[in-house]
Structure 1
Amino acid sequence: MEHLKYPIGKFKSPEIINETLIKEWIKAIRDFPTQLKLEIKDLTPSDLKKTYRPNGWNIMQVVHHCADSHMNSFIRCKLALTEDTPTIKPYHENLWAALPDANNPSVESSLIILEGLHQRWTLLLDSLNADDLNKSYFHPESKSFVNLKTTIGIYAWHCEHHLAHIKIAKTS
């Protein structure tokens, strides 16, 4: 079951995060909306209800979750850049995934959000210097400080993680 929950493994932050790695991660974030659209372009409303594992989210919930999650991350990045180590507001992603908007087979609105959001987000990420990349926020659930360079890696992983979920669900 763990391989279905984490088909590409859990995110592990490398000991050294260099400029090349950050650029690769930003590219993964930049390319995500296009890759996501390609993965779901021919799916029917019935296909969008397929899950990647028992008791897991269906494809439409994954798409809507990505819009929710990536909006939160973009805001967390902006908070870290404009405030002194802010404490971020966690959210209950499973409860969000159960709301009516996340169970709507029309995923077009979330695709539009992701496209515009990722354009702005990667524009911001591309502009960050070394000092900016070391700015952090405090995550009260993990009780840890997370710097922006690690956040970029987490969300590059997050993109690939959910693309893998969709690919698995399409074959079920």
Structure 2
Amino acid sequence: MEQYIVSFITDAEAFSQLVRGIPVEELNYKPTVTSWSITEIIVHVVDTEMILQHRIKAILAEDNPIIQAFDQNLWASELQYSSRDIEDQLALFVLLRKVFAPTLKIIRDVDGERVGTHSTDGSIQLKDIVKKMSTHLQGHIEQIERNRAAFVLLK
């Protein structure tokens, strides 16, 4: 799991730098009716970070805890992600990672086998959640790049 921990904080800082300075019009642009804007993607990344950190803590501290699923599209619409201040979100994202890094560092290889029970997916191992935390951000960076490319084509 060490490979996922190495760039944990630097990835958050790089993500923040990537999206800072994007004009508001571009931040709010949606390539399709059902797509998320860059603003919504940023808020989703932060909320998911909090959820994944909670899941890791629960599995480390408890025996087979229940891991609750969430509907990301419902959260984005009902929690009005599009109206959030991205500077606050980015600051929170970096801070969340800095504060959580010591927890990641205490995870032993044997802990990676610990499990929780996901409310829809069943048994899930800690190592898979740590891996998802790493790959989740990269997937949304690619989504942001696609949004930006579509926005440029509009102009």
Q: TM-score range by the shorter chain?
A: 0.7 to 0.9
Match of 1:58 in 2: 37
Cα deviation for residue 141 of structure 1 reads 1.1
Match of 2:15 in 1: 36
Higher helix share: 2
Name the SS for the 2:67 alignment partner: coil
Segment of structure 1 superposing worse, 156-165 or 104-113: 104-113
Q: Determine the C-alpha separation between the residues in 2 that align with 1:134 and 1:58.
A: 36
Cα deviation for residue 60 of structure 1 reads 0.3
Q: 1:48·1:105 contact (CA, 8 Å) conserved in 2?
A: no
CA RMSD for the aligned pairs?
1.7
Matched, 1:161 2:100: no
Q: Determine the C-alpha separation between the residues in 2 that align with 1:166 and 1:159.
A: 11
Q: Aligned ranges for residues 19-168 of structure 1 at < 5 Å? A: 22-51=1-30, 55-104=34-83, 106-143=85-122, 145-168=123-146
TM-score for both structures, normalised by structure 1: 0.80
Q: 2:40·2:81 contact (CA, 8 Å) conserved in 1?
A: yes
Cα deviation for residue 158 of structure 1 reads 0.2
In the TM superposition, structure 1's runs of 4+ consecutive aligned residues that sit over 6 Å from their partners are none
Q: Determine the C-alpha separation between the residues in 1 that align with 2:13 and 2:31.
A: 21
Letter in 2 for 1:82: A
TM-score for both structures, normalised by structure 2: 0.88
Letter in 2 for 1:166: I
Where do 5+ consecutive residues of structure 1 fail to align? 1-21
Name the SS for the 1:146 alignment partner: strand
Q: Determine the C-alpha separation between the residues in 2 that align with 1:106 and 1:86.
A: 33
Cα deviation for residue 95 of structure 1 reads 0.9
